Amino acid sequence: MPDIHKLLWPRSVAIIGASSDTRGLRGRIVQIMKDHPYQSAIYPVSRSEAEVQGLKAYKSVSELPPTDLAALIIPAKFVPQELERCGAAGIKAAIILSSGFAEEKGEAGPALQQEIKAIAARYDMAVSGPNGEGFANTAAALCPTFSPAMDAGDVPLLPPDRGRGQVAVISQSGGMGFAFFDHGRPKDLSFRYIVTTGNEACLEASDFAEYIIDESKTDVILMLIEDIKNIATFERMAEKALRAGRPLIINRLGASEAGARAIAAHTAAHGDDAVYRALFRKYGIIESNDLDEMVDIAAAFIAMGKRLPASHRVAIASSSGGGGAWVADACALAGLDMPILDDATRAKIDAYLPPYGCSQNPVDVTAQAIHERGYAEFAKLAAESPNVDGVILVVTGRHPRFLIEDRDHLIALGRDTKKPVLLWSYTRPASVCVDLLSEAGLPLFTNVHNCARTMRVMADYRAARETFLKGH
Amino acid sequence: MPDIHKLLWPRSVAIIGASSDTRGLRGRIVQIMKDHPYQSAIYPVSRSEAEVQGLKAYKSVSELPPTDLAALIIPAKFVPQELERCGAAGIKAAIILSSGFAEEKGEAGPALQQEIKAIAARYDMAVSGPNGEGFANTAAALCPTFSPAMDAGDVPLLPPDRGRGQVAVISQSGGMGFAFFDHGRPKDLSFRYIVTTGNEACLEASDFAEYIIDESKTDVILMLIEDIKNIATFERMAEKALRAGRPLIINRLGASEAGARAIAAHTAAHGDDAVYRALFRKYGIIESNDLDEMVDIAAAFIAMGKRLPASHRVAIASSSGGGGAWVADACALAGLDMPILDDATRAKIDAYLPPYGCSQNPVDVTAQAIHERGYAEFAKLAAESPNVDGVILVVTGRHPRFLIEDRDHLIALGRDTKKPVLLWSYTRPASVCVDLLSEAGLPLFTNVHNCARTMRVMADYRAARETFLKGH
């Protein structure tokens, strides 16, 4: 069995096709790797340059010191012979970033892909790609990819460690795979791995997912897949994930006719949507076809951990009456129920409301009561109602004063609540509010439907898992 | 007929209940008004203060110099007597920001609202509210509201004038009304008015919309309504808007049971969803229940003007194969068609693609071809196909180089294209890219479904308008 650990955690990486020209992809990969504080060796392999971006270059794979991982970024037709050399040199893992294989029109590309597969099998190499965009291992600061999303900048790869969980991304598409990372960063979402798998001639998404689940350091996995090549691996992986309570959030591209045409041209993928759907249902997999929503769902699972709604019944508390109505409509569309709160809870809430407020559900807290008592108190009171199993709190994060003044209560709420509390800000939140709520562990949504849908899928995931565990 | 012009374009404004305490709403409204360069007179009315935030204050309405507009922000029970004084003093317009009227439990609030209605009728006053949050007239820099979204900051109320159109917002909910403005600003969307109408005791959203359409300076109107009190006014307004080609984009809150409960508590609204839906269909009104999407649709109409798709057939061109597939799935969900492009167009595109690219539709341009020829060329070529009437171009706006190098072509594309071109960036766009595309007049989406849905509603709007004009 090929060793994925060697691929994701190499102690040395050769870049075959490395270049000094940082305007091209072959130079970009070296630049991105170098700019991160990866502690192990990087060996450029170049036929024309003795030094690449300040690193000693090697003329050939056969001249390399012992190497764990080879990243190949050379024209497709040269890939088999170089991969063969890697195998012969004892390199046990490779990623192939070149295009021009099974996705190409004609017979030459698919034939090259068959060759790769045979070589990998012969040497028992862990091979990802071809037509991938590499990967990132943030803990190792290792980014063998040319994705602009992985440029080393002012923002560290990992957000402040707040002792919460991490997510991984596995995507056939390179551009989209790193896009998840790009969208998750402003939410302080901590990514452990971003793996792009391209055409999946050898290793496929399920293989990486299984490795990541077995490793037990990743709490949520985001997957963008075009097809599933080995259903048995997928099922084994999905069952492990469900047992371990590590949600899989998947978009399968190609559900539409034009989308199917696109994935066939992209990674030579084709698959039966109905088969996939049935698999996803069986293993409580969360399906979403919206990038922003997928990241939002992941962030909410990370923040709430095991605190998932026991039913579809939610309370809404809002400083804006219109905002409360908007969430109510969104929750109804998401299939959530909003029962009127019980009398005891209503009495407690009413004690704080002006006469034009309303405690039914949605709770129209009114701006006045928020000014007087802050946001957290009302979410806490609503969560105490036996009629509901989750709370959506509507805030405006634009003017930070009310959130800042309520800081201690918000932190206590995020720590102590037993029912999930999700926040929707109907204005663009100030960065100080984003940071504060991130610290409090309260998931902040800027899109109302993502907020409602997340509550729904959290409830469904809990139910699916409980049903599965009971049956097995 | 009450004079809305006096309300929206007053030469002097009295603030009844003005205060020096800027932590309270009665102080905030004065502060916000003062901080903007409104050129006309502001008259605080205060029983307790001789000067409010540096402005001479008046003890009573009866002492005021001639005044066009009164903003009332005093406890509900005092509103009728002060409004009566305004009428007696010859003030022809008022906005009532106080709460505690028909939305309040019991009989007192609704009775107060009836009094307001009677006084307004007796003096033929243009009265907006109660329970509203005021309005903004950006051209006059007039912001009689306490909405934090209207705080004067470093960003001017109006973006750079690029000779494109403007939008208006009319919303019963104050918080949500100004949220549209807040969301539109980073898109350089130019807002002419934001009007919040609250309980609509007298003037309702349709009245303001009709004024704005008659004025002919606003191209798109965003509306958030809870009910329609006067169907005849709404129909007259909607017909004018459709004839003039000024799209109305509406969310009607309260479609769900809990939402209906919420709007009844919020503005005492109730209405029959089926009746509203039928009206919206009749007048080509664009319905959306997503704030981000509504703003995105408005921005696209402003950018594209009369260049609306003649059918549901679109071409997709993408630098990311996975991104192209994702848009294709989204377009299919939105009810768009993606026919394979004609041979002549494909031949022109193929001439620029590497062998692993694909010109069918979606066009998988590949990163390599984008590096060589830029983005604009492929959108232009795809738009030339007789098989499609619109183009979605998938870009990554994170790394600005390719967009910056393509700047002149993008500007030419935005100016010259006859078919709409919408852009989706699957990474968070750099601000330099946002500015560049705004200058080019190419609508940039960060959510794929909003992009696809916008193309769809643009086509539907064109078709609805053509059908209506033919039948009348």
A105 shares contact with chain B (CB less than 8 Å): yes
How distant, in Å, are the alpha carbons of A102, A103, A112, B433 from that of A107? 8, 10, 9, 40
How many other CB atoms are there within 10 angstroms of residue B140's CB atom? 18
A392 shares contact with chain B (CB less than 8 Å): no
Chain A residues with beta carbon closer than 8 angstroms to that of B256: 328-329, 331-333
CA distance A394 to chain B (A): 11
Task: Indicate the residue of B103, B148, B251 with minimum beta-carbon distance to A399.
Answer: B148
Q: Return the SS3 of A460.
A: helix
Q: Are A282 and A254 in contact (CB under 8 A)?
A: no
Is A364–B323 a contact, with Cβ atoms under 8 angstroms apart? no
Q: How buried is residue B72: exposed, middle or buried, by Cβ count under 10 Å (0-12/13-18/19+)?
A: buried
A355 shares contact with chain B (CB less than 8 Å): yes
- Type of residue found at A171: S
The CA distance from B358 to B378, in Å, is 12
Record the pTM: 0.97
Q: Residue A331's pLDDT is what? A: 98
- Type of residue found at A437: L
Is A265–B367 a contact, with Cβ atoms under 8 angstroms apart? no
How distant, in Å, are the alpha carbons of A37, A55, A141, A142, B271 from that of A34? 7, 9, 10, 9, 63
CA distance A66 to chain B (A): 33
Task: Indicate the residue of A149, A251, A290 with minimum beta-carbon distance to B427.
Answer: A149
Sheet with B126-128, strands from edge to edge, namely B41-45, B12-16, B69-72, B93-96, B126-128
**Of the candidates A257, A189, A263, the residue with the CA atom closest to the CA atom of residue A224:** A263
Chain A residues with beta carbon closer than 8 angstroms to that of B258: 316, 328-329, 331-332, 338, 361-362
How many other CB atoms are there within 10 angstroms of residue B155's CB atom? 10
**Of the candidates B330, B147, B174, the residue with the CA atom closest to the CA atom of residue A253:** B330
Cα B212 to chain centroid distance, Å, stands at: 13
Chain A residues with beta carbon closer than 8 angstroms to that of B262: 316, 321, 324-325, 328, 362, 364
Choosing among B172, B199, B256, which should be mutated to test the A contact, i.e. which has the most A CBs within 10 A? B256
The CA distance from A101 to B121, in Å, is 77
Sheet with A126-128, strands from edge to edge, namely A41-45, A12-16, A69-72, A93-96, A126-128
Choosing among B320, B404, B453, which should be mutated to test the A contact, i.e. which has the most A CBs within 10 A? B320
Chain A residues with beta carbon closer than 8 angstroms to that of B291: 326, 426, 447-448
Phi, psi of B169 (to 5 degrees): -120, 135
Is A103–B356 a contact, with Cβ atoms under 8 angstroms apart? yes
Q: Which residues of chain A have pLDDT under 50?
A: none
Q: Are B228 and B204 in contact (CB under 8 A)?
A: yes
Bridge partners of A12, per DSSP, are: A41
Nearest CA in chain B to A363: B262
Task: Indicate the residue of B105, B254, B332 with minimum beta-carbon distance to A257.
Answer: B332
pLDDT tens track for A430-461: 999 999 999 999 999 999 999 999 999 999 99
Is B290–A106 a contact, with Cβ atoms under 8 angstroms apart? no
Chain A residues with beta carbon closer than 8 angstroms to that of B358: 105, 265-266
B259 shares contact with chain A (CB less than 8 Å): yes
Instruction: Give the long-range contacts of residues A228-235, CB within 8 A, separation 24 or more.
Output: A228/A204, A228/A271, A228/A276, A228/A279, A229/A200, A229/A204, A230/A204, A230/A206, A231/A275, A231/A279, A233/A204, A233/A206, A233/A207, A234/A206, A234/A279, A235/A279, A235/A283
**Of the candidates B455, B353, B446, the residue with the CA atom closest to the CA atom of residue B396:** B446
Is B325–A263 a contact, with Cβ atoms under 8 angstroms apart? yes
Is A256–B329 a contact, with Cβ atoms under 8 angstroms apart? yes
Phi, psi of B40 (to 5 degrees): -100, -175
| B348 contact partners, CB below 8 Å, separation of at least 6 | B381, B384
Q: Residue B174's pLDDT is what? A: 96
The CA distance from B352 to B380, in Å, is 13
Q: Return the SS3 of B95.
A: strand
Is B320–A173 a contact, with Cβ atoms under 8 angstroms apart? yes
Is B332–A258 a contact, with Cβ atoms under 8 angstroms apart? yes
Task: Indicate the residue of B171, B354, B396 with minimum beta-carbon distance to A148.
Answer: B396
DSSP string for B261-326: HHHHHHH-----HHHHHHHHHHTTPEE---HHHHHHHHHHHHHHTT---SSSB-EEEESSHHHHHH
The CA distance from A117 to A127, in Å, is 8
Q: Residue A401's pLDDT is what? A: 85
The CA distance from A207 to A126, in Å, is 10
Q: What is the DSSP letter of A142?
A: B
- Type of residue found at A336: L
Q: What is the DSSP letter of B341?
A: P
Q: Residue A222's pLDDT is what? A: 98
How distant, in Å, are the alpha carbons of A65, A398, B169, B362 from that of B156? 60, 17, 18, 40
Per-residue three-class SS string for B433-454: HHHHHHHHCCCEECCHHHHHHH
Classify strands A191-196 and A135-137 as parallel, antiparallel or unpaired.
antiparallel
Task: Read off the tokens for B279.
Answer: 């009206």
% chain B with pLDDT above 90: 90
- Chain A window 148-177: which residues touch B at a Cβ cutoff of 8 Å? 148-149, 151, 171-177
Is A253–B329 a contact, with Cβ atoms under 8 angstroms apart? yes
Q: Return the SS3 of A176.
A: helix
Q: Residue B1's pLDDT is what? A: 81
Q: Which residues of chain B have pLDDT under 70?
A: none
Task: Indicate the residue of A323, A333, A361 with minimum beta-carbon distance to B175.
Answer: A323
Q: Residue B182's pLDDT is what? A: 96
Is A258–B362 a contact, with Cβ atoms under 8 angstroms apart? yes
The CA distance from B417 to B264, in Å, is 47
Nearest CA in chain A to B252: A326
- Chain A window 184-203: which residues touch B at a Cβ cutoff of 8 Å? 186
Task: Indicate the residue of B175, B331, B355 with minimum beta-carbon distance to A322.
Answer: B175
